[in-house]
Structure 1
């Protein structure tokens, strides 16, 4: 059932506060402080060769182009970019944003997910999405979106794992890097969020994340939270 609008006001827009988690924190993107580490994480030795396949930019073979890209991101208000900081080391390891920000309708999206190899398939990547989703609903949004290229099987699997609901495909939605993009849409709505959030919190709990690896999957934690 849709949530009641009797008490609802327009959502707030994201600000520059740092969002703290167990494994990572999200800081407002600052190219001066984060640039060197992001260059290493996203373009250095050991970086993910498939990272840029479905992003509308990159890869960057030269540092000046990368720095200009970061500066543009930092200046943007929509998308609103965060740097993902590894808590133990303090190193910047990725980027993520809140975007398509429509406060009057309470609609927002998590996008521009650009995680370095050390973050992928780890609690850090899941916690980054959790922290932004938590912030999105705390700001008063009613709907959180996830969109990706329909050919991007990895992103589609991720959306389902994170608890998003599949909504359909927009055919011939965009042209990206000279190629057609059919876009797959997913969402979480505000009435679903409490149970999904509880699942995230169970999965991210330190007793579920020993050094040997997770005990229960995110799907199992979410199911037990319903």
Structure 2
């Protein structure tokens, strides 16, 4: 990885100057709208029934292997959780809503929000089986990245996962995140060790990644039956 450098008066390599930097704002928008989906600030009442199908006992147990939590066994437990996270400012949670039917199909969040340094992570990416590998899933990631990097002006957008979570790692690379390395013995969760894989998009990379995502999301890239003509990795 090439690091952009300059030299000071002592002939020491230093990084480039960041001019006119100021503290960034916390996420606050309650609605982000795309072509296929909406990101709505998580509402413990409005999204409860839909998300209980995603988070509840009927969800696929395999979906929870690499998450720090497990499926909820009943509506009382889930209601308590949803009430807590819907009022959280960090993480700032969104429900992913299908525009065709208004159904919430999953969630994601902006988290580890560092307003002074302009760094933020996308996390709590929890999808229903109906949402996985769809245009909506990609557009949801696109909308959140646009909000963080374009509108709020953050400099660094992170993605982290268990280093053994191959689907998550592939998803990060597909979306344009750059693999940065692995933090060994980073966490203990569910009674086991987690080595954490780190990925990021920085502000200078985002315009090209954004254009590629917009090309893939274009209606022209899909057949009348919704099949993609070109894969995101091909653009």
Q: Quickly name the TM-score band, shorter chain normalised.
A: over 0.9
Residue 119 of structure 1 pairs with residue 116 of structure 2: no
Q: Say whether the 8 Å CA contact 2:148–2:154 is kept in structure 1.
A: yes
Q: Say whether the 8 Å CA contact 2:95–2:104 is kept in structure 1.
A: yes
What's the secondary structure of 1:104's corresponding residue?
coil
Change (3 A) 1:3 1:208: farther
Residue 88 of structure 1 pairs with residue 65 of structure 2: no
2:80 equivalent in structure 1: 68
Q: Which has the higher contact order (CA 8 A, sep 6+)?
A: 1
Offset, 1:64: 1.0
What's the secondary structure of 2:97's corresponding residue?
strand
Gaps of 5+ in 1: 222-226
Gaps of 5+ in 2: 5-14
2:231 equivalent in structure 1: 217
Q: Say whether the 8 Å CA contact 2:57–2:73 is kept in structure 1.
A: no
Q: How many Å separate the matches in 2 of 1:205 and 1:170? A: 37
Aligned residues: 220
**CA-based RMSD:** 1.4
Q: More displaced, 33-42 or 80-89?
A: 33-42
2:157 equivalent in structure 1: 144
Q: Say whether the 8 Å CA contact 1:42–1:115 is kept in structure 2.
A: no
User: Which of 200, 221, 224 matches 1:208?
Assistant: 221
1:224 equivalent in structure 2: none
Q: How many Å separate the matches in 1 of 2:57 and 2:81? A: 16
Offset, 1:3: 7.1
Change (3 A) 1:39 1:190: same
Q: How many Å separate the matches in 2 of 1:216 and 1:18? A: 29
The Cα offsets for residues 43-101 of structure 1, whole Å up to 9 and x where unpaired, read as 365x4332111111111121111111111211211000000100100011111000000
Q: How many Å separate the matches in 1 of 2:201 and 2:66? A: 22
Q: How many Å separate the matches in 1 of 2:16 and 2:147? A: 18
What's the secondary structure of 2:116's corresponding residue?
helix
Change (3 A) 1:3 1:88: farther
The Cα offsets for residues 9-59 of structure 1, whole Å up to 9 and x where unpaired, read as 2222100330001111100000111001111233365x4332111111111
In the TM superposition, structure 1's runs of 4+ consecutive aligned residues that sit over 6 Å from their partners are: none
Residue 159 of structure 1 pairs with residue 172 of structure 2: yes
What's the secondary structure of 1:54's corresponding residue?
coil
Residue 54 of structure 1 pairs with residue 55 of structure 2: no
Residue 6 of structure 1 pairs with residue 19 of structure 2: yes
- When normalised by structure 2's length, the TM-score is 0.89
What's the secondary structure of 1:32's corresponding residue?
coil
2:144 equivalent in structure 1: 132
- When normalised by structure 1's length, the TM-score is 0.93
Change (3 A) 1:12 1:3: farther
